[in-house]
A and B are shown apart, each in its own frame.
Chain A
Amino acid sequence: MTAWETVIGLEVHVQLATRSKLFCGCAATFGADPNRNVCPVCLGLPGALPVPNAVAVRLGARAALALGSTVHPVSVFARKNYFYPDLPKGYQISQFDRPLATGGEVRCESPDRGLVAIGVTRLHLEEDAGKLIHDWVPGRTAIDLNRAGVPLAEIVSEPDLRSPTEARAYLGVLKQVLVYTGVSECSMEKGSLRVDANISLRRPGGPLGTKTELKNMNSFANVERALEIERERQRTILDGGGRVEQVTLLFNADAGTVRPMRGKEESHDYRYFPDPDLPPVVLSRAWIDAARAELPELPEAKRSRFQSAHGLSPYDATVLSAERPVADYFEAVVRAGADPKTAANWVMGESMPGYNEVGAFAVSAVRLAGLIGLVKDGTVSHPAAKRVFGELGAGDEAPHAVATRLGLVQVRDDAQLGAWVTQVIAEHPAEVERFRTGEPKLLAFLVGQVMKKSRGKADPKAVSERLLTHLEAS
């Protein structure tokens, strides 16, 4: 079998995190009653006019800057003309020959090629269409226009991806950046991130083959799967000497198949022209600089800083920088006085399971730092501190107060420790004898017995020192 090179490009639509729609004051929220968030503008009523949302433009520019794209001082909204019942005006307001931004790249880890830079062709703003529901009323298609006019950024990649796995990695990094910068929630379940993929095969170094477009993938895993299936399909055709047809294919996750899309009559003659209702979007140098200044530290930069400044391992730095709230939390714990490596262990081991479950941290960074301090100064043992952590989430009691209430503050009182040590030596003469005759591992057993007597409250380090003193003295 001859070798084929896979060529993949992705078109990603993300919903910009605005309160209102792109061209009207309707709420852009998900989940309202059908046709509740509608007005003359997004219903396309006679006489209604669009006015662009400042925050949508700002978020689009922010996304572009985060990807290293060039934000253009002048961009133009255009009308993309086609008829479909989810499109109220008979045209979609989008950007065509003068998009908001061009260029840029996404750096991601390829399993085959190591770190690769995937080019970004363009980023433009456009309005979403409504939602269609088939056979909700038998024989009819129902239309909900709540989503019509919701602001989207379309991010088009160069055909730089070479495998379905790379495509998935690209999406992971892209989503991370967009969530980090507050551009979008990027939830495929809520429809705030959608992916269309183009794929073709060619001889390595040869001209591009005919591409097909894949739609209807509802998760990153399914994007990868659909691309694998389509790659196999094209490979079989080409190996058999056939030709790939340029079609749009719908992925069926249940059946694990891709099938040509029917029904929507694709005119492919969208008759784009500048929307005469909307003067160009003109952004000054100062405006673009301000949008750039607003950018948070991006995950890649944060990851390397966590290694250089906090001395974290690459793995820990990656985990802690993956999500902005986690990274911010970790850094707050460090700022509150905790040693970075200890803080990293606590955040990853104790804080993150709860965060991953409910999306919030039960214990504030300052209280976690306080708890870490109690371990460090010997007030509580490490295992006791984990019990304290479990209790901290329930209220706003200080870590020390919780440890005291639970009786977990370590006993360092000399008289009490001395009494327990004397008793244990008296109760275990055989073990004491073996220790003295050259079995040092029995110290651990004796420490354990003292801890048991103290019901875990003794400081094991102090116990061990005291035992040694006693055993050597007598």
Chain B
Amino acid sequence: MTISPDDLVRIARLAELDIAEADLRRLAGELEGIVSYVGQLTSLASADPPAAGDPVGVVLREDRVDPIPLDRAPADFAPEFQDRFFLVPRLPAMDGG
């Protein structure tokens, strides 16, 4: 399994990480090292693992309006907040609307 700088760019884009041009080759190499290390799992016989039995079901919550209180309001921890809204740079036009 080889991971090229192009592969790395694609993955980094999915993960929304900026990777400096200068770091691409090094990081691709490190990733390849890790991925080939964990690749030894492929030697594991691919027969179905023993059945895990009946799964323990999630305990559901009652439908009550009972929010966990916020000690501080969003305005206090948001990087950009105005008149009750979180703000981000204007998204590209969505058309149609």
Q: Tell me if chain B binds chain A.
A: yes
Q: Which residue numbers of B lie inside 8 Å of A, CB to CB?
A: 13-14, 16, 54-70, 74, 80, 82-97
Are B66 and A25 in contact, with the CB atoms below 8 A?
Answer: yes
The CB with the most chain A CB atoms within 10 A, among B54, B57, B86, B87, is that of B86
* CB pair B56 A85 closer than 8 Å: no
**Inside 8 A of B63's CB, which chain A residues have their CB?**
18-20, 53-56
Cα distance, A252 to B96, chains bound together (Å): 5
Kindly state whether residue A429 has any CB partner on chain B within 8 Å. no
A132 CB–B CB distance under 8 Å? yes
4 smallest beta-carbon distances between A and B, as pairs: A250-B96, A282-B57, A263-B92, A55-B63
Report the tally of A-B residue pairs with Cβ distances under 8 A: 150
Q: For chain A residues 210-262, which have a beta carbon within 8 Å of chain B? A: 215-216, 250-252, 258-262
Known contacts A52-B58, A141-B88; 6 additional CB pairs below 8 A are A40-B70, A53-B60, A56-B63, A134-B93, A267-B14, A282-B57
> CA of A81 to CA of B97 in the docked complex: distance in angstroms?
26
Is B68 a contact of A33 with CB atoms below 8 Å? Answer: no
Across the interface, name the chain B residue whose C-beta is closest to A81.
B14
B64/A279 in contact, CB under 8 A: no
B57:A279 contact, CB within 8 angstroms:
yes
Q: Which B residues touch A135, using CB under 8 A?
A: 90
Determine the chain A residues whose CB is within 8 A of the CB of B54 once the complex forms. 282
Chain A, interface SS category: loop
Chain A: interface residue total (CB-CB under 8 A): 63
A74 within 8 A of B: yes
Q: Secondary structure of the B side of the interface?
A: loop
Q: Which residues of A contact B (CB under 8 A)?
A: 18-20, 24-27, 33-41, 43, 48, 51-57, 74, 81, 83, 85, 132-137, 139-145, 215-216, 250-252, 258-264, 267, 269, 271, 278-283
Q: Are B55 and A132 in contact (CB under 8 A)?
A: no
The CA of A279 and the CA of B57, in the complex, are separated in Å by: 6
A140 and B61 contacting across the interface, CB-CB below 8 Å? no
CA of A18 to CA of B62, assembled, Å? 10
Closest beta carbon of chain A to B68's beta carbon, Å: 5
Q: Can you list 23 contacts pairing A with B, beta carbon distance less than 8 Å?
A: A24-B68, A25-B64, A25-B68, A26-B67, A27-B67, A37-B67, A38-B67, A41-B68, A51-B61, A53-B63, A54-B63, A132-B91, A134-B94, A136-B85, A140-B89, A141-B87, A258-B96, A259-B95, A271-B14, A280-B57, A282-B54, A282-B55, A282-B56
Given contacts A37-B67, A142-B86, contact A43 B58 (CB under 8 A): no
Find the A residue at minimum CB distance from B81.
Answer: A35
